[in-house]
Amino acid sequence: MNLKPITIALTAALLGGFAQAQTTANDVKDDFLPSPLNQPGKAYPQVNSQGYARFKVYAPQADSIRVSLGLGGQGGTLLNKGADGYFTGTTAGPMDEGFHYYHLTIDGGVFNDPGTLNYYGSTRWESGIEIPAKDQGFYALKNVPHGNVQQILFPSKITNTSRRAFVYTPPGYGKTNTRYPVLYLQHGWGEDETAWSNQGHANLIMDNLIADGKVKPFIIVMTYGMTNEIKWGGIREFKIDTFQTVLTEELIPYVDAHFQTLANRNNRAMAGLSMGGMETHQITLNKPETFGYYALLSGGIYKTEELANKPKPKLIFLSCGSKERPDGVKNATTELKAAGYNAVSYVSDKTAHEFLTWRRSLLELAPQLFK
Amino acid sequence: MNLKPITIALTAALLGGFAQAQTTANDVKDDFLPSPLNQPGKAYPQVNSQGYARFKVYAPQADSIRVSLGLGGQGGTLLNKGADGYFTGTTAGPMDEGFHYYHLTIDGGVFNDPGTLNYYGSTRWESGIEIPAKDQGFYALKNVPHGNVQQILFPSKITNTSRRAFVYTPPGYGKTNTRYPVLYLQHGWGEDETAWSNQGHANLIMDNLIADGKVKPFIIVMTYGMTNEIKWGGIREFKIDTFQTVLTEELIPYVDAHFQTLANRNNRAMAGLSMGGMETHQITLNKPETFGYYALLSGGIYKTEELANKPKPKLIFLSCGSKERPDGVKNATTELKAAGYNAVSYVSDKTAHEFLTWRRSLLELAPQLFK
């Protein structure tokens, strides 16, 4: 099994999405605003126009609070305690644009920042902060027709459970008998089926692309990509068989029976980020008759020899952030093209193994699907 | 404006869902199991068969952790610090069955328990714990056909935003041209449009009722009932006008245009819990031509004089927990019946102003709607 995507993920986590070298306090502009992901009415955490993040947490009898973001001191940002009982602090440098997971270490215990919303990552609900990106409009909530995101519970015999998925249906879905292609879109390690909507804004990216006439409307299905819910962190023992059965023998037939889908290979795509890319890689190679479009977002590559003697995909899309290993993605794409495959690469500028890379990847991928 | 439901809510919050008088440690059975609402893989908090809750939180350098549930000492449960850095403790008595919000006070600051899932209540995402109820089967995830819960984003001119609602559609919805009645179902103060699905399991209650043939399938629409998102806690200044416009002039037309609804008074109900009951009371009286069925769950009563000279509702449903003010609900129902109204009361046994009261109220209400 190729563990590279996981290694990349851990490296990025250690870097904490840090953008630049440390700067002095004098360079920090005083234009901090609440992060867009704060809980209603909460003033902190804040972000300034340079991408510095500032934290403020009340715990008058605590001795120490460290934020897991930034590179000050021993990793993360150590907050300073004030006489008013508030701990405050600012990252030692600007953060990468986009979404970051984080948590607080309060007197040695791990807790979330009560100022922010929580997002499932690292196999726990973590705090989230958003550094507004220059291109944030493509995933913004705009005054355009909106599709819906619906929770479905589908029966799974192989795992003996009702499993959950979220289904994005484009604006106008269900008003006529129109049938749509489907993208099966997987999250990364430690995340779950909520990630692509909550952290990824996949629905808003689609709404905006459709409003701009840049994409043929399609359905997106997002489900939980692990089947060993009890053994957390057991990624090295991961086997694709059970999830492949859930996806191809249980979920896809359920979606085709309950939604207005075009139920054939040329109208079915699979994509995934990080571990979800690893899953996409394995499942598309095992079931090439099921999917016509493949996409790995920071999730590895396809080699030409793996694709030989199989039905040819209509598209192979490989992407990553410029702070990951873009040469790997570019070189693989060059080789695939030379071998006659319709391969496309995309590198997200100045981002690492984090969600802005994947939001942008979906933005690039969507218009190339189902053509 | 009638503030009674809010007063009830605050009283119940102070009681913390406590069921009985304090007992000695010897009486506590050693059959604790993880709460059903724990994050994946988390062992704590735990609940035993008597309803005692036990907590375990790691924070080796912290001085003090108090859980907001229970009545030990100065309110809540003070945890004891062990040499291993874990704080542990058990409520001084059994809790009421059902769902409870709580939080931790760590060295004077308010944080969530990293062991549990979070639920929006008290205008913040709080920790949640579930004391399994004897009748928990009616809201359990079972192997029956499941309806979907979908997020919709609808345009609101009066608030100049895209507003969110969740829409439950019953199993089989959309497969034919069948049109369905609609229940508009409101959350309580400090909660939001996620409450009835997350805390209330409204979708599972409906799935199970439909599978048992006990209810005529209908759609449920759950939206955010406040329009002053910035001024939190401003309940005393609350005016119904803006939300009434959002609901009756923006959301209902949107739902009727986008879903297979029966768009008339006899197929439209409004219900709400606590503050949502107050809203239901006001809006149904202001717009009696819009709704045919009214339900207040721990949310006040209707007086006969309020209903005079208006189109007669087909049903008035009033409910509360036995630990609230059941006489008020029962007496109002008696008066309404005497005046010729089809009024029904329901009192949830041994529950207070909490979600098990409202789950059970929905169970009782649903079969009486749209007959």
| Statement: residue A6 has pLDDT above 60 | no
- Cross-chain CB nearest to B112 (options A61, A111, A151): A111
Q: Tell me the average confidence (pLDDT) per consecutive run of 10 residues in chain B, 371 residues long.
A: 33 42 70 96 96 97 94 76 97 95 97 97 95 98 96 95 96 95 97 97 98 98 82 64 96 98 98 97 98 98 97 98 97 98 98 97 98 90
pLDDT of residue A3: 30
Distance from CA of A339 to the nearest CA of B (A): 43
- Label residues A267-291 b or e (16+ Cβ within 10 Å = b): bbbbbbbbbbbbbbbbbbbebbebb
pLDDT of residue B235: 59
Instruction: Record the tokens describing residue A295, joined without a space.
Output: 């996409």
Q: Which of A151, A254, A256 to mutate to test the interface with B (most CBs of B within 10 A)?
A: A151
Instruction: Record the tokens describing residue B35, joined without a space.
Output: 């709460």
> Which residues of B fall within a CB distance of 8 Å from A123?
40-41
pLDDT of residue A25: 56
Per DSSP, the three-state class of B194 is coil
Instruction: Record the tokens describing residue A331, joined without a space.
Output: 């070189």
What pLDDT digit, counting tens, does each position of A209-237 carry? 999 999 999 999 999 998 864 454 555 66
pLDDT of residue B238: 73
Instruction: Record the tokens describing residue B45, joined without a space.
Output: 């908090």
Do residues A198 and A345 both lie within one domain?
A: yes
Q: Which of B80, B115, B132 is the last residue of a domain?
A: B132
Q: Measure the CA–CA gap between A101 and A34, rounded to whole angstroms.
A: 16
Strand locations in chain B (E):
33-34, 46-47, 53-58, 65-67, 77-78, 80-81, 86-90, 98-102, 104-106, 109-111, 118-121, 124-131, 148-156, 161-169, 182-186, 219-223, 268-273, 293-297, 315-321, 343-348
Distance from CA of A358 to the nearest CA of B (A): 22
**Cβ distance B201 to B359 under 8 Å?**
yes
Do residues B179 and B287 both lie within one domain?
A: yes
- Cross-chain CB nearest to B106 (options A59, A167, A175): A59
> Which residues of B fall within a CB distance of 8 Å from A102?
none
Q: Measure the CA–CA gap between B298 and B321, rounded to whole angstroms.
A: 7
Sort strands A315-321 and A293-297 into parallel, antiparallel or unpaired.
Answer: parallel
Do residues A53 and A189 both lie within one domain?
A: no
CATH of the domain at B57: 2.60.40.10
- Cross-chain CB nearest to B174 (options A39, A64, A174): A174
What pLDDT digit, counting tens, does each position of A120-150 carry? 998 999 999 999 999 999 999 999 999 999 9
CB A149 to CB B150 under 8 A?
A: yes
CB B107 to CB A111 under 8 A?
A: no
Torsion, CA B248, CA B253, CA B255, CA B256, rounded to 10: 120
Q: Which of B106, B187, B205 to mutate to test the interface with A (most CBs of A within 10 A)?
A: B106
Do residues B148 and B109 both lie within one domain?
A: no
pLDDT of residue B228: 66
- Cross-chain CB nearest to A62 (options B40, B62, B167): B62
Distance from CA of B152 to the nearest CA of A (A): 5
Do residues B58 and B42 both lie within one domain?
A: yes
CATH of the domain at B337: 3.40.50.1820
Do residues A24 and A93 both lie within one domain?
A: yes
**Cβ distance B19 to A67 under 8 Å?**
no
Q: Which amino acid is at A89?
A: G
Q: From the CB of residue A66, how many other CB atoms can be counted at a distance below 10 Å?
A: 23
Q: Which residue has the higher pLDDT, B2 or A94?
A: A94
How many structural domains does chain B have?
A: 2
CB A58 to CB B108 under 8 A?
A: yes
Per DSSP, the three-state class of A171 is coil
What pLDDT digit, counting tens, does each position of A248-281 carry? 999 999 999 999 999 999 999 999 999 999 999 9
Distance from CA of A163 to the nearest CA of B (A): 10
Distances in Å between the Cα of A359 and the Cα atoms of A7, A140, A364, B151, B320 are: 21, 11, 9, 20, 46
Question: How high is the mean pLDDT of chain A?
Answer: 91
pLDDT of residue B230: 45
Which range is most confident: A5-9, A18-22, A75-79? A75-79
Close Cβ partners of A73 (under 8 Å, ≥ 6 residues apart) = none
Do residues A257 and A240 both lie within one domain?
A: yes
Do residues B25 and B142 both lie within one domain?
A: no
Close Cβ partners of A72 (under 8 Å, ≥ 6 residues apart) = A22, A78, A89, A91, A92
Q: Measure the CA–CA gap between A261 and A219, rounded to whole angstroms.
A: 8
pLDDT of residue A20: 45
Do residues B212 and B119 both lie within one domain?
A: no
> Which residues of B fall within a CB distance of 8 Å from A124?
39, 114
> Which residues of B fall within a CB distance of 8 Å from A171?
none
Expressed as residue numbers, the domain containing B148 is 138-368
pLDDT of residue A239: 83
pLDDT of residue A224: 96
| ipTM associated with this complex | 0.90
Do residues A303 and A159 both lie within one domain?
A: yes
pLDDT of residue A238: 73
**Cβ distance A243 to A282 under 8 Å?**
no
**Cβ distance B117 to B126 under 8 Å?**
no
Q: Which of A85, A106, A132 is the last residue of a domain?
A: A132
Residue with tokens 């602090």: A89
Do residues B59 and B208 both lie within one domain?
A: no
Q: Which of A132, A152, A177 is the last residue of a domain?
A: A132
> Which residues of A fall within a CB distance of 8 Å from B125?
39, 117-118
Q: What are residue A118's DSSP bridge partners?
A: A127
Do residues B148 and B38 both lie within one domain?
A: no
Strand locations in A51-189 (E):
53-58, 65-67, 77-78, 80-81, 86-90, 98-102, 104-106, 109-111, 118-121, 124-131, 148-156, 161-169, 182-186
User: How many A×B Cβ pairs under 8 Å?
Assistant: 137
- Cross-chain CB nearest to A151 (options B104, B112, B149): B149
Distances in Å between the Cα of B143 and the Cα atoms of A155, A167, B59, B360, B365 are: 7, 20, 40, 21, 23
- Cross-chain CB nearest to B125 (options A39, A123, A155): A39
Q: pLDDT above 90 covers what percent of chain A?
A: 86
